[in-house]
Amino acid sequence: MKVICSTLNAKYIHTNLAIRYLRAYAAPEFNVQLREYTIKDPIMNIVTDLYQQKPTVIGFSCYIWNIEETIKVVNMIKKIDPSILIVLGGPEVTYDTTEWMEKVQNVDIIVIGEGEQTFKQLLSVIEEGETSFQSVPGIAYRDNGQIKVTAQMNKLDLKELASPYRFTEDLSGLGKRVTYIETSRGCPFSCQFCLSSIEVGVRYFDREKIKDDIRYLMANGAKTIKFVDRTFNISRSYAMEMFQFLIDEHLPGTVFQFEITADIMRPEVIEFLNNEAPKGLFRFEIGVQSTNDFTNELVMRKQNFAKLTRTVTMVKDGNKIDQHLDLIAGLPEEDYNSFKKTFNDVFELRPEELQLGFLKMLRGTGLRLRAADHQYVYMDHSPYEILGNNVLSFDDIVRIKQVEDVLEKYWNDHRMDHTVEYLVTNVFPTPFDFFQEFGSYWDEQGWSRIGHQLEDLYRRLYSFLEKRATEHLDIIAGLMKYDYLKEHKYKPRKPWWNASYEKKDRMQVYKLIAEQPQILGAAYTPLKLDEKDLFKHTMLEEVSFDLNVYLNTGEVKVQSTNILAYFNPANEATQIFPFSLNK
């Protein structure tokens, strides 16, 4: 009997932990093979590869991002060889199971919930040649055309599970892909939009086994290790032990990512991380979702925003850990203006990344079961994203999506930090107003439907600001030039602006700099650049304000200033030297 566990990941860099647990648990009785693809792979290619393995059983791990493509694969496989037994599992098919069996006739069995033990028992029954699966707990199956569902078994003792991280064929990809680590299952909270709220209690894996697995993964080249625990810091002692272990034993270049609940994190934990953690070792993902207390109450979400703010601020002040904060548009009774306030509340914290998502009515969640209470309209197919409710129209959703588009390009990608900070602080009433006004303009120009180069992002922002007759455009243009130059490691061939100096004028300035390098300051003099170096490795520009004063104090002092950008051929960070020729 040949068994394959497969899935379609969202991206190549992702790996699927579930099918690895299934394989590890099924051994040694069953030699399960793994086959991973992406949702962008041609269906024919996936089907061909699976068919050529001549499997008896194929199990697919199903999620909202891959279910539609997975069904296409299943239907094609059954057309080619109806004898192949198709088994589905995963969060997307664990709920409304009977509906899935009716909807996808080519599915033979669905494993419900936690699948390791159930899947192994199922394989035993199949191998023995039994035609009835009623002895296997926690599945839906077909019996003479009728759909039957068996009761689920008790939860597994996670400390007894075999490691899913030790497969030889995974080693070559560890440095190129994200490695997911699970140290617990379950969530202590009851947020009604989240599948984790359905499982009661939190169970932990064996700590020492987890540490050994992490050592093994790092030793074999893993660079990005993401903990998938729903709330990594629910146990302070456990989180502190793991933080200390990772600080003590990490290898250079490794990054660990965690989902944390910020308002329960104690200040002394953050102080410990700020003092002990190497910069860049950890990354926090924090779900804020909404700052509307009534909305949070309706979805049974307990959140103290003041304490959350304290945590995020302390972490940011420590300058050791990047933070990714999440918002969800479309939660109950959160209308457009309320969401605008939520956005501004969270943007005020200036997280390194702010992800703006839209509510998805996941199968099995309390919010989906009570959708009528708030007149939710949502997609019939995955990802079940909302189209409106009693306080948020589809027009409002479209407008917020415009915000999301430019937020990703202009804040999360950090291409124009100084420019955006100036705009949201000095030009627009609130950060949301900037992203909304610019996002609407972006959409009207049709730019959301075409690609862009880096220079396009600068030109488009400038054209938007010019169109609305923005005051002090010369200052904004100067900041845009600074942002553009400092992010380049190599001298750009074609900047987005017209050069401040003609060639002959630039030659005169370069000659002056070569003769009097001290006018650029003490940091420049040791570079010892001659005129040839200046022409080859630098750019000379003019801005209308004193850049040094602005960077140090935030004050705009109107005074024509030159900036020299030095692109180090040793591929080190670009250096920017503001200076005045009047000195």
Per residue in 58-73, pLDDT tens?
999 999 999 999 999 9
Residues 288-315: what's their mean pLDDT?
97
Backbone φ and ψ of 85, nearest 5°:
-80, 125
User: Three-class SS of residue 545?
Assistant: strand
CATH code where residue 52 lies? 3.40.50.2300
Q: DSSP of 378-392, one letter per residue?
A: E-SSTT-BEEE-SS-
Give the mean pLDDT of the chain: 95
Q: How many domains does the chain have?
A: 3
Q: Tokens 């992002």: give the residue.
A: 457
Residue 335 backbone zone (phi > 0: left; psi -120 to 50: alpha; other: beta) = beta
Q: Is residue 309 part of a domain?
A: yes
Per residue in 265-279, pLDDT tens?
999 999 999 999 999
CB atoms within 10 A of CB 166: 15
Tokens of residue 169, six digits: 């064929």
163 and 34 housed in the same domain: no
Position 574, amino acid: T
Are the CB atoms for 525 and 455 separated by under 8 Å?
no
Lowest mean pLDDT among 208-212, 448-452, 510-514: 448-452
Are the CB atoms for 66 and 8 separated by under 8 Å?
yes
Residue 129, burial from CB neighbour count under 10 angstroms (0-12, 13-18, 19+): exposed
Residues 255-259: what's their mean pLDDT?
97
User: Three-class SS of residue 441?
Assistant: helix
Going by pLDDT thresholds of 50, 70 and 90, the confidence category of residue 199 is confident
pTM for this model (two decimals): 0.93
Per residue in 470-485, pLDDT tens?
999 999 999 999 999 9
Calpha distance 171→193 (Å, rounded)? 36
109 and 188 housed in the same domain: no
Are the CB atoms for 487 and 479 separated by under 8 Å?
no
| pLDDT at position 197 | 80
222 and 129 housed in the same domain: no
Q: Is residue 126 part of a domain?
A: yes
Lowest mean pLDDT among 195-209, 407-421, 428-442: 195-209
Scored b (16 or more CB within 10 A) or e, 333-348 reads bbebebbbebbbbbbe
Q: In this prediction, what percent of the chain has a pLDDT beyond 90?
A: 92
203 and 286 housed in the same domain: yes
Q: Is residue 316 part of a domain?
A: yes
223 and 195 housed in the same domain: yes
Residues 312-330: what's their mean pLDDT?
98
Residue that finishes a domain, picked among 378, 409, 424? 378
Going by pLDDT thresholds of 50, 70 and 90, the confidence category of residue 582 is low
Residue 86, pLDDT above cutoff 70? yes
Q: What share of the chain is helix, strand, coil (3-state, %, to 5)?
A: 45, 20, 35
CATH code where residue 319 lies? 3.80.30.20
129 and 174 housed in the same domain: no
Per residue in 218-236, pLDDT tens?
999 999 999 999 899 999 9
Q: Is residue 421 part of a domain?
A: no
| pLDDT at position 247 | 98
| pLDDT at position 201 | 85
Residue 120, pLDDT above cutoff 90? yes
Residue 583, pLDDT above cutoff 50? no
Sign of CA dihedral 381, 385, 389, 393: negative
Per residue in 370-420, pLDDT tens?
999 999 999 999 999 999 999 999 999 999 999 999 999 999 999 999 999
Beta-bridge partners for 542? 562
Per residue in 350-360, pLDDT tens?
999 999 999 99
27 and 85 housed in the same domain: yes
Q: Is residue 394 part of a domain?
A: no
Lowest mean pLDDT among 115-119, 158-162, 194-198, 523-527: 194-198
Q: Is residue 410 part of a domain?
A: no
184 and 267 housed in the same domain: yes
| pLDDT at position 489 | 84
Give the per-residue SS3 of 291-333: CCHHHHHHCCCCCCHHHHHHHHHHHHHHCCCEEEEEEEECCCC
Beta-bridge partners for 142? 147
**Cis peptide upstream of residue 578 (ω within 30 degrees of 0):** no
| pLDDT at position 493 | 84
The parent domain of residue 294 ranges over 158-378
